[in-house]
Amino acid sequence: MHSQTSVQKFSLMHWWLSSLLVLMVTLGSSSVLAEQAGNKVSPIAVPNPGADLWNEVRQRNAESNGRTQIRGTDSAEFMRVSGEEFRDYRLSLLIPYAPYFLVGMLVLLAATFIVKGRIKIPDGRSGQVIKRFETFDRVVHWYVAILFIFLALTGLLLLLGRYAVLPVFGKEAFGLIASACKEGHNLFGPPFLVGIVLMAMRFAAKNIPNMVDVKWLLKAGGAFGGHPQAGYFNAGEKIWFWLVTIIGLGLCVSGLILLFPNFEQGREYLQWALVAHGVGAVVLITLSFGHMYVGSVGMEGSLDSMSTGYVDSNWAKSHHDLWYQEVMQRQSADNPKSS
């Protein structure tokens, strides 16, 4: 009986001590919470263990490199912030504004044709022709031209197809078209480089600028002050040649970087290559419309030079008078008149 009474007293004392301890903790916590509430401090003293991890992953503080079992370029980088920046550039700048340049040039050329019509040979066709391009020259030109048109079409379909092709043909057809364009673009890109190099080797010497070209530009090719003099190539043709050569080589180099990413070029180089490839392609395609226009419906007799290799003598006298004089002098030297 005495033992049972002692146990009861001990249990009662244990309960009171426990209650007192809980009360003290509660009162202390309440005072601390009240103080923190007054100071507007978060009551959670332990930081989120995932905050530092994701700050480092997203590189909010600085770039970080980790360790991984996979060995390769950029393999230790979990997330690249510039990838989102590139995505914004492509969706916000390249894709929305590219059609304005392309369609704008077509509208400008159509307006020019409506207002001025086709530029005729001033004295009409004489019936006498002068050889302008060798067969090899024309083969190189059409080789580059055909590949350029194919690469331009496939590239534009890859760039703008989601907005122009997908709504018309549907997802399944667009997937097939996009896949075919990608494979064709990758396949015929390297041969385009061969054509650019051959064209540069063949025509670079005849496209060196000189003072005659400055006068041609000051007259804007005949828009001001009468038709200017020109040699084998005029200033406009020379500018187009160097644009095709320089931008074309840039497109080929950037394309090869994208086509063969296994040479340890990092994602940063691939992103810059995509920027250069997209901008350069849009610029060159836009300017090519002007070249195609002048060489076909825009000027009478121009297409003859690359279709047959010969031009009418009146066309040569009107548009390339200095070259025409050189040809006449050579013919006179080769065929002197009998006294």
Scored b (16 or more CB within 10 A) or e, 54-74 reads eebeeeeeeeeeeeeeeeebe
Cα(339)–Cα(332) distance, integer angstroms: 14
pLDDT of residue 270: 85
**pTM higher than 0.85, yes or no?**
no
Average pLDDT, the chain: 82
**Is pLDDT at 10 greater than 50 in this prediction?**
no
**Is pLDDT at 42 greater than 60 in this prediction?**
no
DSSP assignment of 132-177: ---HHHHHHHHHHHHHHHHHHHHHHHHHHHHHHTHHHHHHHHHHHH
Domains of the chain are 50-79 (no CATH), 82-334 (1.20.950.20)
Q: Quick one: pLDDT band at residue 339, thresholds 50, 70, 90?
A: very low
- Mean pLDDT of all residues in 280-297: 94
